[in-house]
A and B are shown apart, each in its own frame.
Chain A
Amino acid sequence: MNSFKNLHPGFVLCYFVFVTFFSVFSFNPIYLVSSLMGALLFALMIQGVGAVARSIGGYFLVFFLIAVTNPLFSHNGRTALFFINDNRVTLEAFVYGVVLGVAVVSVLYWFRCFNEIFDSERYMYVFGRISPGLAVAVSMTLRFVPELIHNFRQVNNAQKCLSDNRCRLRRYISSFSAVISQSLENAVITSDSMRARGYSLRGRTSYTRFRFSRRDGIVLGIFIFLAALSVTERHSFSYYPDFVCSDFSLLSAVSCVSFGIIVLLPFLYEVREGLWKFSASRI
């Protein structure tokens, strides 16, 4: 249940950026709730019920903290609910806190999905597009750190059987310095190997297995169309000093609906792919 992952990483990145930014900066309960629902559905799809159910407690705690602390610190708003130490606790601030909580939790869920989908190969694609040199640097770092840890364990184990085990810190320090000089030694060979394969040449490219297919094009087209619709007349909502909700026009209603479709896009895509697979299975 993860067909969305197979779309082009460029599109996937755009999608996540748009969804998170739009839902946060609109600060409108309609957009936020639909964004949260979309994110939850997406997470359910790619991680399964168990993993999402286990995560809900933690996210609820985040939500609860934000919803409670906001009215304690912000005393704006017209409708006072009660007083603590002569400070007004207002309905507006409370609602604002709830909305803020929903915004944060929905962004967390989007990130959760993003993390699941955007693996290191996709990151490397993005870095490679920005600069092929950067991609190499990132890739080398990704290799260096686990290697360092691995070597450290090796040295440390060998030291364990040699020295007395009473002073663990001293052993760690000496093992660490040994590992560092070992890495420097290896770095000389690595740089030779890079030069030997033409690292210093100009006009480096970056290998990728991702191709922008027709399918990506269609999905991207639909996405841009919906995104344009939802941006043209955003429905607005303000909290202080009083709730003010702009009137629904035809366009702003369209905006809400198209944003709703956008957040459901991974789900809809999955359904479509599923149907296609279903039809394929009949062959």
Chain B
Amino acid sequence: MEIFSIKNLSFKYNKSDSFALRDVNLDIKNEEILLVIGESGCGKTTLLRMLKKELMPFGEMSGEILYNGEDIKNISDRTSASQIGYIFQEPDAQIVTDRVSSELCFGLESLGTDNKTMRAAVSEFVSYFGLSDVFDRKTSELSGGQKQLLNLASVMITRPDVIILDEPTAQLDPISALDFITMLRRINSEFGSTIIIAEHHLSEIYQLADRIVFIEKGQISAVDSPNKIPEKLKGKKIERTLPAPVRVYNAFGFDFDCPLNCRDGKRMIEPYSNSHYISVKELNKDNKIISAKDVWFRYERNSPDILRSCDLCIYKGEFFALLGENGSGKTTLLSILGGFMKPYRGKVRNTSNKTVYLPQNPRALFVKETLREDLNLIDNSFEELSLQFNIFHLLDRHPYDLSGGELQRAALCKLMLTNPDVLLLDEPTKGLDYFANRRICRQMWTVV
């Protein structure tokens, strides 16, 4: 039985010449996990929003969308609110209230549920989502992963039949993203909710999906199961974002069923791996540029230590990656290396002339109405560099109108204008799709 059936759907945004969606035909089955993939701006978000009545974008639409056999425009507000859940990319902005408890109940309150039922639902979902420790907290105190879990819980609490998720893990660290995806799998198998999800980071969700839809320039170009679709994506850009085992399979065409996880991938390549090796380039360890010795740091006098006896040495021309779980002190260490915060014990030596810092949220670097004005603040010879960073065509845009990748490139460009010796980047690839990610990485290599 189809929960949604989309027939000949075309859509054009107001003030736009080209179609955002063209001739989309798709049946979404009850209780399936449907993964929607495609490059940024291919129409994924538009398609997902068309499935939720309240969020339908304005524009010219033709064709029809049926929800349980009824035109989606005709279903009642109440049905749409309670049966179709929608989760956005930004964990923070979609939280409405200040407390976890009230956020959780927001949907039930809207539906006019009485207090007794609400209490029962709350206690059920709080323990299901493992939120009992944070139930009394303020929403602002939660981590990104907890926030997104809370968003999922506050949508699930009305027991929707469908949950639509628009890149829900894009802003999360890999561990929280895995937790989130695991929770989705549980919801699907225990509540039987249909899940429609758009994602860029495919390594976790890929193997869970029942079917995968590939959208290209507003058109569906392939729909198939996870182990069949790779062949249809051969030679396309999107192929490179597939999980590693699938990519290896596609590239070498092993005589094997398409592996979806590392275990099967390992089995597939085992016969070949014995005779092939990878070599690593040695680093020239002559010039120290930043060194930290026995650094201790805490934010307040009575708070716990964030860094304890931390030693670190970074050499000139080195590409140094700092790995660690959320809350392990990565950002703190970066700020100390950059000299924005002082350790209470230990020494940091920074012999560079200029050290710059790219914060996790690159928006923080921009304060003007256009990118041009912003870059002009630093240096007026910015045009050449902006060409190099491929943001020349964006110079007259407002910094906040840029996509994640564009903004990140612009931020890097702005920092490079100051002629730094050391570039401290705080999670620069967070929230970017694979291609933007690659571009940033390549850009960073050229800088080095």
Residues of A within 8 A of B (CB): 120-121, 124, 132, 135-136, 139-140, 142-143, 146-147, 150, 154-155, 157-163, 174-175, 177-178, 181-182, 185-187, 189-190, 192-209
Query: Complex: how many Å from CA A244 to CA B173?
Result: 75
Chain B positions 106-136 with a Cβ under 8 Å from a chain A Cβ: 106-115, 118-119, 122
Of B96, B122, B155, the most chain A CB neighbours within 10 A belong to: B96
Considering the complex of A and B, which 5 residue pairs feature the smallest CB-CB distances, nearest first? A198-B81, A198-B110, A207-B105, A158-B364, A193-B94
Interface check B54, CB cutoff 8 A: yes
Interface check B316, CB cutoff 8 A: no
B109 with A182: CB separation less than 8 A: no
Query: Complex: how many Å from CA A27 to CA B106?
Result: 46
Across the two chains, which residue of chain B brings its CB closest to A208?
A: B115
Residues of A within 8 A of B366 (CB): 178
Query: Complex: how many Å from CA A70 to CA B285?
Result: 81
Residues of B within 8 A of A155 (CB): 363-364, 367
Across the two chains, which residue of chain B brings its CB closest to A153?
A: B364
Of B55, B106, B122, the most chain A CB neighbours within 10 A belong to: B106
Interface check B445, CB cutoff 8 A: no
Residues of A within 8 A of B96 (CB): 136, 139-140, 143, 190, 193-194
Given contacts A132-B109, A182-B400, whether A207 and B94 have CB atoms under 8 Å apart is no
Query: Complex: how many Å from CA A150 to CA B141?
Result: 12
A161 with B340: CB separation less than 8 A: yes
Query: Complex: how many Å from CA A58 to CA B388?
Result: 65
Query: Complex: how many Å from CA A193 to CA B107?
Result: 10
Query: Complex: how many Å from CA A146 to CA B122?
Result: 26
B55 with A154: CB separation less than 8 A: no
Contact check: which of A161, A186, A200, A205 meets B338 at CB < 8 Å?
A161
Interface check B365, CB cutoff 8 A: yes
Query: Complex: how many Å from CA A234 to CA B119?
Result: 44
A200 with B77: CB separation less than 8 A: yes
A207 with B102: CB separation less than 8 A: yes
Across the two chains, which residue of chain A brings its CB closest to B119?
A: A209
Query: Complex: how many Å from CA A123 to CA B246?
Result: 55
Interface of A is mostly: helix
Contact check: which of A121, A154, A160 meets B361 at CB < 8 Å?
A154
Given contacts A161-B338, A192-B88, whether A204 and B94 have CB atoms under 8 Å apart is no
Given contacts A198-B81, A201-B78, A201-B81, whether A182 and B54 have CB atoms under 8 Å apart is no
B101 with A207: CB separation less than 8 A: yes
Given contacts A157-B359, A189-B90, whether A196 and B52 have CB atoms under 8 Å apart is yes
Contact check: which of A139, A150, A207 meets B108 at CB < 8 Å?
A207
Query: Complex: how many Å from CA A193 to CA B166?
Result: 12
Across the two chains, which residue of chain B brings its CB closest to A160?
A: B340
Contact check: which of A147, A196, A209 meets B81 at CB < 8 Å?
A196
Interface check B92, CB cutoff 8 A: yes
Across the two chains, which residue of chain B brings its CB closest to A173?
A: B367
A124 with B102: CB separation less than 8 A: yes
B97 with A201: CB separation less than 8 A: no
Residues of B within 8 A of A196 (CB): 52, 54-55, 81, 85-86
Residues of B within 8 A of A163 (CB): 377
A157 with B77: CB separation less than 8 A: no
A139 with B98: CB separation less than 8 A: yes
Chain B positions 300-345 with a Cβ under 8 Å from a chain A Cβ: 338, 340
Residues of A within 8 A of B340 (CB): 157, 160-161
A209 with B101: CB separation less than 8 A: yes
Q: Offer 19 A-B interface pairs, CB within 8 angstroms, sorted by A.
A: A139-B96, A140-B96, A143-B140, A154-B359, A155-B363, A155-B364, A157-B359, A162-B418, A175-B367, A193-B88, A193-B94, A194-B96, A198-B111, A200-B77, A201-B111, A202-B112, A204-B109, A206-B109, A209-B101
* A145 CB, min distance to chain B CBs, angstroms: 10
B90 with A198: CB separation less than 8 A: no
A186 with B364: CB separation less than 8 A: no
Query: Complex: how many Å from CA A101 to CA B3?
Result: 71
Residues of B within 8 A of A195 (CB): 54-55
Interface check B95, CB cutoff 8 A: yes
Interface check B249, CB cutoff 8 A: no
Across the two chains, which residue of chain B brings its CB closest to A198?
A: B81
* A151 CB, min distance to chain B CBs, angstroms: 8
Interface check B67, CB cutoff 8 A: no
Residues of A within 8 A of B101 (CB): 121, 207, 209
Other A-B contacts than A155-B364, A157-B340, A205-B112, 9 sampled, CB-CB below 8 A, are A121-B99, A124-B99, A143-B95, A189-B90, A197-B81, A198-B107, A200-B77, A207-B102, A209-B101
A159 with B54: CB separation less than 8 A: no
Across the two chains, which residue of chain A brings its CB closest to B378?
A: A162
Contact check: which of B93, B102, B359, B418 meets A190 at CB < 8 Å?
B93
Residues of A within 8 A of B98 (CB): 120, 139-140, 142-143
Residues of A within 8 A of B139 (CB): 143
Contact check: which of A147, A178, A204 meets B112 at CB < 8 Å?
A204
Across the two chains, which residue of chain B brings its CB closest to A194?
A: B96
Query: Complex: how many Å from CA A211 to CA B93?
Result: 32
Proximity bits, B133-156, A CB within 8 Å = 1, else 0? 000001110000000000000110
A198 with B97: CB separation less than 8 A: no
Query: Complex: how many Å from CA A110 to CA B81?
Result: 44
Residues of B within 8 A of A207 (CB): 101-102, 105, 108-109, 115, 118, 122
Interface check B357, CB cutoff 8 A: yes
Interface check B176, CB cutoff 8 A: no
* B171 CB, min distance to chain A CBs, angstroms: 12
Proximity bits, B397-431, A CB within 8 Å = 1, else 0? 00010000000000000100010000000000000
